[in-house]
Chains A and B, each alone.
Chain A
Amino acid sequence: MLFLGLGCLLLQVSAVLGTELTFELADNEKQCFYEALEKDVKFEIDFQVIAGGNYDVDSFVTDPQNNVLYNEKKKQYDSFSHTTTMAGTFKVCFSNEFSTFTHKTVYLDFRHGDEEPLIQTMNGATALTQLESSCVAIHEVLKVVDDSQTWYRLREAHDRTKAEHLLERVTYWSIGETVLLFVIGLGQVVMLKSFFSERKGSVAAAT
């Protein structure tokens, strides 16, 4: 029992060390995210603007000494990868300060380090059997499928938002233009009619 209890303390959850967050950036707002990292750790940042305005955002990444590692303006999506040269808190910021009234929705995926083993006893000290190797290979492929699905889900959200805006604009435009056309057409006919009826009246008066 005690052994099992102690064993539990050693067990760690499988952790693809990464965080995915989707947040809203109001106009003229800046939002920063921080991550404490050790030296010589490779991290990757993927971001995508999924809604709002021109679907673009400013972003920059700084290291613990405030050196700029990445700085891009008005990007719709991008990927940035870096291996840390010092330990400390790294910062990634997104800015919508160039926009006066559009809110942006941004997706961020911050990944670092390698995947931890499923349970601590699987630390790779012993060779894997063929069956275990197959399981690992399938797991890696399924991870790629999962990442692709996330990518397509975001593109779909982006396209759907654009399609919804288009439908809204087309609806208002078509109703407005039809009404305007009707009013202008009728107005023109009435006006022309009034010119001729005045003329008839003045001709009749002259004779």
Chain B
Amino acid sequence: MLTLALLSALCGLASSVFLRVADKERACFTENLPSRTRLVGVYWTRLYDEQGYRYLPVHPDLEVNVLATDPDEQVLLSGSGGPEGNFSFTSRRTGNHRICLRSNSTRRPLVAGGALALHLDLRVGDRTNNYAQIAIEDKLTELQLRVRRLTEQVYHIQNNQDYYRLRLKEVHWIQSSTSRWIFWCVVVQTLCLVPLVAWSPAW
């Protein structure tokens, strides 16, 4: 039953932006995430036949490698899936997380004159919630589900506020470092110049 709900959820996300990638070409994306934020990615592939200007289904042998790294270049997620799949991870640190997808058709090469259409949908925070599934699991009425969605939204906004406060502190530190450098540079230059000017006639 849960599988059915998940399947229907995936079908519900059928509309999304896609890009054309060559075989074995990497498509990388960055997501700036606060800590403790969940990211869910759903992808599916089709083959684009440039001669016929149409989309064809892809062979099930096609592998898509997914690699997700955190701001410190530590691997958060590394795996391979079929032509369709999903992946998720929760960020441990605040910062730029990188998600790369790469198609690998080892067994059967792609049709000549064809590129892969890679559909990707990345969802962050409260948009990762499958409310249909939550309603079934927690046995919620419609009103309870609405309130639950509002709670999740507020939690996500609060998380973003904390993240923003942290980032602001970093920017303040950078700006004060810049002014400190300029200040001390001027002081040191003055300390170099004044003795040179004062004592050079004596030399």
Contacts and interface: CB of A to CB of B under 8 A. Distances in A.
Interface residues of B, number: 66
B192 A185 contact: yes
B31 interface: yes
A167 B171 contact: no
A8 B15 contact: no
Contacts of B177: 167
B151 to A, nearest CB: 10
A139 B156 CA distance: 13
A8 B8 contact: yes
B17 A34 contact: yes
A15 interface: yes
Contacts of B11: 12
Given A12-B9, A118-B146, A119-B142, A34 B4 contact: no
B179 to A, nearest CB: 9
Contacts of B160: 146, 149, 153
Nearest to B127: A16
B159 to A, nearest CB: 10
A110 B203 CA distance: 72
A116 B11 CA distance: 13
Nearest to A22: B30
Interface string A113-139: 100101101100000010110011011
Contacts of A121: 142
Interface in A176-207: 177-178, 181-182, 185-186, 188-189, 192-193
A185 B8 contact: no
Given A23-B30, A178-B188, A139 B150 contact: yes
Contacts of A32: 19-20
B15 A178 contact: no
A72 interface: no
A19 B120 contact: yes
B157 A146 contact: yes
Contacts of A182: 192
B153 A142 contact: yes
Contact of A146 (B120, B129, B153): B153
Contacts of B117: 34
Contacts of B193: 181, 185
A5 B4 contact: yes
Contacts of A14: 129, 131, 149
Contact of A34 (B19, B32, B130, B142): B19
B170 A105 contact: no
B51 interface: no
A207 B163 CA distance: 82
Interface in B93-135: 117, 120-122, 124, 127, 129-132, 135
A160 B11 CA distance: 39
Given A22-B32, A33-B18, A13 B203 contact: no
A21 to B, nearest CB: 5
B114 to A, nearest CB: 15
B56 interface: no
Given A132-B143, A174-B182, A192-B200, A23 B28 contact: yes
20 contacts: A1-B1, A8-B1, A12-B8, A12-B9, A12-B11, A14-B131, A15-B15, A21-B120, A23-B27, A35-B16, A36-B15, A143-B153, A146-B153, A153-B164, A163-B178, A166-B178, A174-B184, A178-B188, A185-B192, A185-B193
Interface of A: 1, 4-5, 8-17, 19-24, 31-36, 105, 108, 110, 112-113, 116, 118-119, 121-122, 129, 131-132, 135-136, 138-139, 142-143, 145-146, 149, 152-153, 156-157, 159-160, 163-164, 166-167, 170-171, 174-175, 177-178, 181-182, 185-186, 188-189, 192-193
